[in-house]
Structure 1
Amino acid sequence: MHRHIEGTTASEIAESVRSGIDRGILQPGDALPPVRALAESLGVNRNTVVAAYRHLAGSGLVVSRGRGGTRVAARTVVAQEGYATDSALRDVGTGNPDPALIPDASDALARAGGHPVLYGEPVIDPGLRSWATAWMSDATNASAGRLTVTSGAADAVERLLAQALTREDAVGLEDPCFLTSKHTVQVGGYRPVAIPCDDEGMTVAGLRDALAHGVRAVVCTPRAQNPSGASLSAPRARELRDVLAEHPYVLVIEDDHFSMLSTRPFHSVVPVGHRRWALVRSVSKFLGPDMCLAVTSSDTETAAGLAMRLTPGTTWVSHLLQRLVHALMTDPQVRTRIGEAAAHYAARNTAFVHLLTAHDITATVPDGLNLWVDVECSAEAVVTQLMRRGWLARAGDDFAVEAGATPSRRLRLTVHDLDDADLALLASDVGDAVRTVRVRETGVA
């Protein structure tokens, strides 16, 4: 193994290992030489090898196993949102909105026509720009920002990171984390840094620690955090702004994905006058996931970088789609329908929390499409028990920023489309599954 690794600096050694992985010389699970042995072989200081291995670990290319040494990491696939394929079980882990609550676009389609759009014309349709400007006006920074339209929130976040970062730069992610954000950071080759969340969202101590570790960007969900459903309180947002004010050039991305469906007020973490920031709002939760459109308001420099990232690819989002979104969002009946959907999601989640309480399972009423349930035992084991009862649930392990971290005690459940009978049945089955696992783990009935 020693002969495949060379270099006299930490970066050269790390690049040599990376090259070996890329060429297939080093396979997942292969052990790298012990630090002392490699240092002697290369004729370098031991700390140089330590720095190289730390760099590789931060990039996700190797994992340290203590006395088990340092090994090449397996190429893991990040779990994805949506329905599980090829399963006959009742899926309550989808994260999807209720299709029955998505407005019918048939009438709006007839109003979405207009003159053909040619190269060189404005990339944002005038009608959508007017509506979007008002939509973003509740955020102090966003009201003075520059608008960009992308193909959904994930597209916006990916391009925002790409225009600001280079490979292996550190990105602060909420922990637990939205699956798409994890995937975006992994594919981009960035280094994720976990920022713990509690019932009020991103923690102040976690953000401060991430900034101390050199993150160049932070992705924050101000309300209806996925998977936890947490929303920032006004005091928490203020504390986070105070911390970020000391780092004006760190890119702060706020993904307000639930926006119009949220029952909580919007509290921004972006300090007034911050140099690099972006607020992203998509329409997918209330107009449907297939309506791939998001509006981003950002500072001028970030907006220019985002537009540059769009130029060699899609260039612009279809004006037909933009006009369709505008037609829907300016229809009073559609806006009423969105308000009814918001009330429905909140009511069904609240009802299920009350049912769980009757089975001695604690859960807080969240904001968003999902519930984040503390089962006080192995969530994976509870998922297995629920499968035997006909349900397909999702353990919180999928949402951990660091794979292989402490096993989760949380379930993320999507229950808003269940009727009263099924809601009661699921609560009962969750209760039975949790009791079974707890007895196995503790021996106490």
Structure 2
Amino acid sequence: MDFSELDERTPRAIAGAVSRAVRSGDLAPGARLPTVRDVAADLGVSPATVSAAWQALRRTGLVVSRGRAGTFVRDTPTAWLSPRVRGLVGAGPERLPFDLSRGIPDPALLPSLGPALARVSARAATLAYHEEPVLPALRETLAATWPYPAESITVVNGATDAVGRTLEQLVSYGDRVVLESPGFPPFFDLVEALGAEVVPVAVDAEGLRVDALRRALATRPVAVVLQPRAHNPTGAAMTPERAQALASTLRRRRAAREVVPWIIEDDHSGAISVTPDVTLGTWLPDRVVHVRSYSKSHGPDLRIAAVGGPASLIDRVVARRMLGPSWTSRMLQSILLDLLTSPDSAEEVSQARRHYVGRQHAITTALREHGVVLPPPDGINLWLPVADVAAASVQLAAAGIRVATGSAFLADPDHAVDSHLRVTTGLVTPADAPHVAAELAAAARAQ
């Protein structure tokens, strides 16, 4: 590749040039990079300078070292990952001091499973295959805290499973589905896998924009998928006023005898969110499916979420599952029930919520001291605006910080340019916040 147009001969500049070549397609997946000595000779710099650039690229996951064989552009990740998720997991295997790219909760803030496990039967129960798929006690516990009276509630294997199974009952080939952009990458892939068309809508600090929804409704979508709080990636939270305005837009459509799309709400971080539990189901209970996940608050590996709404739709989801996994493990349901009803577990989750709030305030306060002014987000992620995504990613990797680039969160990542990074700041303790914020602020200005 050609380094002749480099204005600087620093590790950051060299790594940035390679990063741009990879992202533009000039360097294809699997391509071998020139040797450190060859690049050093071409640029008139020391091999150590080029080696530092190659090390930064490895940290971003763009390239991999294969020992004496050389350094190569990373191949496409495993085929069983959906296209946009591949972009999220492109980070290299090298361990960094701060891997803030994955959107996961802090394991240290999850409630202890020991007491719950001790109260679960030591043997898997012998049950009939066609018994009720949800433990009655768990359903009662869920219904008691549901944000609106849902006719039917069941449990499935996580929030994405809930959204996917609901869409499968609603979407036919060629239909349109409204999705937030930026939004959760697997939802884009899921809609496209169903043969449907994504209609992207914008969000702001108060959630899905009313004007964007109004325009999207002109395409006659069959469903709208939204995140009411702790929006991934932006950290936005829908206000009650915004929810009512969105509901009013949909109700006017009903009054005009137009088809009202189904609303699917993904409340993936509810128990660690600090904003009110808002739902359009307050005004449109017959068209809203609400999903409540416990991955961020109680543990991703529990693989369990509740989904509730009109019985006419939820029963179809349950019936389809009976032809596959049939039910979510009742042992896992028993563990979740214990965690939801145990005062000690509830206090642990409350403490986690307070920790996340403190961490978001600490990082945004420290960023403000460096001239980057952002409101504390809800949840565990921060949507950081940057001057140059590639340059910022490389600079952060060189500092030992891995982040996710914003393009994966867009409806059309191949043709849209986004100048943001998603940073899982919920993993940054207040003690580390000043250092991480200084690196984030410097990277935000990098070009």
Q: Is 1:217 matched with 2:223?
A: yes
Q: Is 1:277 matched with 2:283?
A: no
Counterpart-to-counterpart distance in 2, 1:168 and 1:146: 29
Unaligned runs of 5+ in 1: 1-74, 438-445
Counterpart-to-counterpart distance in 2, 1:326 and 1:399: 33
Aligned partner of residue 425 in structure 2, secondary structure: coil
CA deviations on 1:311-343 (whole Å, 9 max, x unpaired) are: 211111111111111111111000000000001
* Pair 1:370–1:419, CA change in 2 (3 A): same
Aligned partner of residue 290 in structure 1, secondary structure: helix
Contact 1:378 / 1:408 at 8 angstroms: preserved in 2? Answer: no
Q: How many residue pairs align between the two structures?
A: 358
Equivalences for residues 152-231 of structure 1 within 5 A: 152-231=158-237
Identity %: 33
Q: Is 1:361 matched with 2:351?
A: no
Equivalences for residues 41-56 of structure 1 within 5 A: none
Contact 1:277 / 1:302 at 8 angstroms: preserved in 2? Answer: no
Residue equivalent to 1:95: 103
1:341 to 341, 352, 363: 352
CA deviations on 1:350-393 (whole Å, 9 max, x unpaired) are: 11001111111122211011111223x12232112212222211
* Pair 1:82–1:130, CA change in 2 (3 A): farther
Contact 2:360 / 2:425 at 8 angstroms: preserved in 1? Answer: yes
Shift of 1:153: 0.9
Counterpart-to-counterpart distance in 1, 2:305 and 2:82: 29
Counterpart-to-counterpart distance in 2, 1:188 and 1:87: 35
Aligned amino acid, residue 418 of structure 1: V
Counterpart-to-counterpart distance in 2, 1:244 and 1:82: 37
Residue equivalent to 1:264: 275
Q: Is 1:290 matched with 2:297?
A: no
Aligned partner of residue 336 in structure 2, secondary structure: helix
Equivalences for residues 57-136 of structure 1 within 5 A: 77-79=83-85, 84-89=91-96, 90-113=98-121, 115-136=125-146
Aligned partner of residue 426 in structure 2, secondary structure: coil
Counterpart-to-counterpart distance in 1, 2:285 and 2:393: 43
Shift of 1:421: 4.6
- Runs (4 or more) in structure 1 with deviation over 4 Å come to 80-83
Aligned amino acid, residue 107 of structure 2: P
Aligned amino acid, residue 322 of structure 2: T
Aligned partner of residue 381 in structure 1, secondary structure: helix
Contact 1:222 / 1:268 at 8 angstroms: preserved in 2? Answer: yes
Aligned partner of residue 264 in structure 2, secondary structure: strand
Counterpart-to-counterpart distance in 1, 2:212 and 2:157: 31
Contact 2:286 / 2:309 at 8 angstroms: preserved in 1? Answer: no
Aligned amino acid, residue 378 of structure 2: D
Residue equivalent to 1:149: 155
Counterpart-to-counterpart distance in 2, 1:344 and 1:401: 32
CA deviations on 1:82-139 (whole Å, 9 max, x unpaired) are: 7945133331112010000111212211212285322221111122112111121xx2
Residue equivalent to 1:235: 241
Aligned partner of residue 290 in structure 2, secondary structure: strand
Shift of 1:259: 1.1
Contact 2:250 / 2:260 at 8 angstroms: preserved in 1? Answer: no
* Pair 1:174–1:273, CA change in 2 (3 A): closer
Aligned partner of residue 238 in structure 1, secondary structure: helix
CA deviations on 1:47-101 (whole Å, 9 max, x unpaired) are: xxxxxxxxxxxxxxxxxxxxxxxxxxxx981125679451333311120100001
Q: TM-score, normalised by structure 1?
A: 0.76
Unaligned runs of 5+ in 2: 1-80
Contact 2:385 / 2:419 at 8 angstroms: preserved in 1? Answer: yes
* Pair 1:83–1:290, CA change in 2 (3 A): farther
Q: Is 1:410 matched with 2:420?
A: yes
Contact 1:170 / 1:215 at 8 angstroms: preserved in 2? Answer: yes
1:350 to 346, 351, 361: 361
Aligned partner of residue 327 in structure 2, secondary structure: coil
Aligned partner of residue 206 in structure 1, secondary structure: helix
Aligned amino acid, residue 93 of structure 2: D
Q: TM-score, normalised by structure 2?
A: 0.76
Aligned partner of residue 365 in structure 1, secondary structure: coil
Contact 2:175 / 2:221 at 8 angstroms: preserved in 1? Answer: yes
Counterpart-to-counterpart distance in 1, 2:285 and 2:117: 40
Q: Which has the higher contact order (CA 8 A, sep 6+)?
A: 2
